[in-house]
Amino acid sequence: MSEFLGEIIGTMILIVLGCGVNANMSLNKTYGQNGGWIVTSIAWGFAVCMAVFAVGEVSGAHINPAVSIGLAAVGEFPWEKVGPYVLAQFIGAFIGATIVWLHYLPHWKATEDVGTKLGVFSTGGAIPSFWSNLFSEISGTFILIAGLLWIGANEFTEGLNPIVVGLLIMAIGMSLGGSTGYAINPARDLGPRLAHFVLPIADKGSSKWGYAPIPLFGPIIGGVFGGLFYKAMFKGEISILFWIFLVIILGVIVMSIMEQSKK
């Protein structure tokens, strides 16, 4: 299997199990309806775990553009592979979201709330607030990429790494996920959002493209800075990019505070 196909399949698994739990927890007349945030966070963690088990040996199971770009920014992944990896991840995410739509086909019509239907596919601010929501995605992905590098710096019993990565996702979801639904992955949001836009979902409403830049760019900023932070603090390798991204994030923080002070 090629790395390109591996990333498609891995990301598809992530979205089938991840958006699948979203559907099970929220759509009307499912057995899992109202299962709660803890169940959702655990399931997303296992979704990542299964994806890594499936294609980790094939492509490294990035299954996330923020991972590919973040690792490339610190020299841990070749830039020439970033484009194909990211394309594969978006394709896999779209396919995975389509499978979820088909799996729960009778439940879309049984669910009247358009926000609930969109929430199966994509993320959104629990309290809509552009700069604060952007910072939430930056900080969550910062922890993700730094965490992956911390995990990679340690030796585990063979086969344990995917489980540890899954636990990291669970921890991020339970602690930081409540503000935006923790996309922390541009493909995880944009691929399913596109599926929501093009699929004939019953009475689906808007795909809310105005929010899409937040889970697209926030994870990339946070992912790159997570890698740069790890290199600076743990390896003593400080680059000009570290300071550039630090200034960008401080700017987002200032804008977040100003945004809230006006409300």
- Using an 8 Å Cβ cutoff, are 123 and 26 in contact? no
| Cα distance between residue 149 and residue 74, in whole Å | 11
The full set of domain ranges for the chain reads 3-261
| Cα distance between residue 69 and residue 144, in whole Å | 13
- Determine the topology of domain 3-261 in CATH: Glycerol uptake facilitator protein (1.20.1080)
Q: What tokens were used for 3?
A: 């790395």
- How many CA atoms lie less than 13 Å away from 18 in the CB half-sphere? 39
Helix (H, G, I), strand (E, B) or coil at 74: coil
Q: Shortest CA distance to 141 belongs to which of 189, 92, 196?
A: 189
Q: Residue 24 region, left (φ>0) first, then alpha (ψ -120 to 50), else beta?
A: alpha
| Cα distance between residue 35 and residue 21, in whole Å | 9
- Using an 8 Å Cβ cutoff, are 183 and 219 in contact? yes
Q: What tokens were used for 196?
A: 């929501």
Give, in order, the Cα–Cα distances in Å from 98 to each of 46, 52, 79, 85, 209: 20, 21, 30, 20, 18
Between vectors from CA 100 to CA 95 and to CA 103, what angle results, nearest 5°? 125
Q: Shortest CA distance to 148 belongs to which of 52, 41, 260?
A: 52
pLDDT in tens, the chain (263 residues): 899 999 999 999 999 999 999 999 999 999 999 999 999 999 999 999 999 999 999 999 999 999 999 999 999 999 999 999 999 999 999 999 999 999 999 999 999 999 999 999 999 999 999 999 999 999 999 999 999 999 887 776 667 889 999 999 999 999 999 999 999 999 999 999 999 999 999 999 999 999 999 999 999 999 999 999 999 999 999 999 999 999 999 999 999 999 998 87
Q: Could you count the other beta carbons within 10 Å of the beta carbon of residue 24?
A: 21
Helix (H, G, I), strand (E, B) or coil at 185: coil
